[in-house]
Structures are given as structure tokens and as C-alpha cells.
Amino acid sequence: MQTQLAPEFQGTPDGIEAEAILRKCVHCGFCTATCPTYQLLGDELDGPRGRIYLIKQVLEGAEPTRATQLHLDRCLTCRNCESTCPSGVQYGHLVDIGRKIVDEKVPRPVGERALRWALKEGLPSPVFGPAMKVGQAVRGLLPAGLRAKVPAP
């Protein structure tokens, strides 16, 4: 895929790596067949090829939006798409770069930032297991939204 990087990304480590990955993509779309989010949502932009286009546009200077961020957020980073790509496109590396750049340009609402911070810090924390047990013990008393996130014991 021919790519013309915006000046801000030319010569940067992310720009160089992303451009090399993008050049391998031949738009064939084989990857969409094995993408779970595309299978579920049926939107090209929620599949690997669509996300690759979004990242390419940002690297070429387009301003990302909350919608761009959402399509990248929905990717599970399972890299199943890489298993069916005949060109060896390293989608996982590309989406990491794309997410980093989009997050730098599109501020998230405070609540979303707090939730993401809590998940990032909380899930690997040694207190997560005991906290989950407490949550399970009082599961019936929790608000519906929170209860849905706490698995039954």
C-alpha cells in the first residue's frame, strides 16, 4: 500500500515502522474473514483492513476523531487476522502505533480515563483477587451495570 507520511511522522521510529508494515498490505481483505469484531459487527472499520486504512489516514495527516479511536478500541489485539494474511502484515505492531498516536491526539473523557487507569492498575494488582471475591459476595446488591461485570461465584 503506497503511503505518504505526514511531515510529523517522517523519520520517526513509529513512522518508519508503520510505513514498512503498511507497504506490505495489498488490500485483499482475507484478514476480515478471521476477525471476530468484524464477524460480530459487520462494519469494515471494525475489521483489520478498515483499521489499517484508518491508521494510514492518520499517519498521512488526517485528524483522528472519537470514532477513529472507538474503532481501534474495539480491536481485541488477538492478532487472528495475522494468521490469514498472505503478505505477512504485522497488524499487531501497527495497531499499537496507531492507538498511541490517536490517543495523543484525541483526549478521552475523564470517566473513561479513570476507568482505563483502574483496569490497567487494578487487574494485575495482588488485591484484584480478594476484591473480586468481595464483589461476588455482594453481587446481588450491586447496581445492574456493575453486577454484569462481576461473574457469579
Residues that bind ligand SF4 (CB under 6 A): 25-31, 35-37, 48-49, 51-52, 75-81, 85, 87, 89, 91
Closer Cβ to ligand SF4, 31 or 55, answer by number: 31
Shortest distance (Å) from residue 125 CB to ligand SF4: 26
Residue 116 to residues 31, 93, 133, 139: CA-CA distances in angstroms?
28, 21, 21, 22
Taking the complex as a whole, the smallest distance from the CB of residue 53 to ligand SF4 amounts, in Å, to 9
**Residue written as grid cell 494485575:** 124
Judged by beta carbon, residue 55 or residue 81, the one nearer ligand SF4 is 81
Output 54 or 75, the one with its CB closest to ligand SF4: 75
Nearer to ligand SF4 among residue 1 and residue 132 (C-beta) = 1
Degrees to nearest 5, angle at CA 10 with 86 and 104: 90
Backbone angles phi, psi at 135, to 5 degrees: -60, -40
The CA distances from residue 61 to 3, 6, 27, 70, 149, in Å, are 11, 5, 20, 19, 38
**Which residue's CB is nearer to ligand SF4, number 85 or number 97?**
85
In the complex, least distance from residue 42 CB atom to ligand SF4, rounded to whole angstroms: 13
Shortest distance (Å) from residue 133 CB to ligand SF4: 31
Distance CA(16)–CA(51), nearest Å, equals: 18
Q: How far is the CB of 75 from ligand SF4 (least distance, A)?
A: 3
- Asked if residues 42 and 51 have their Cβ atoms less than 8 Å apart, the reply is no
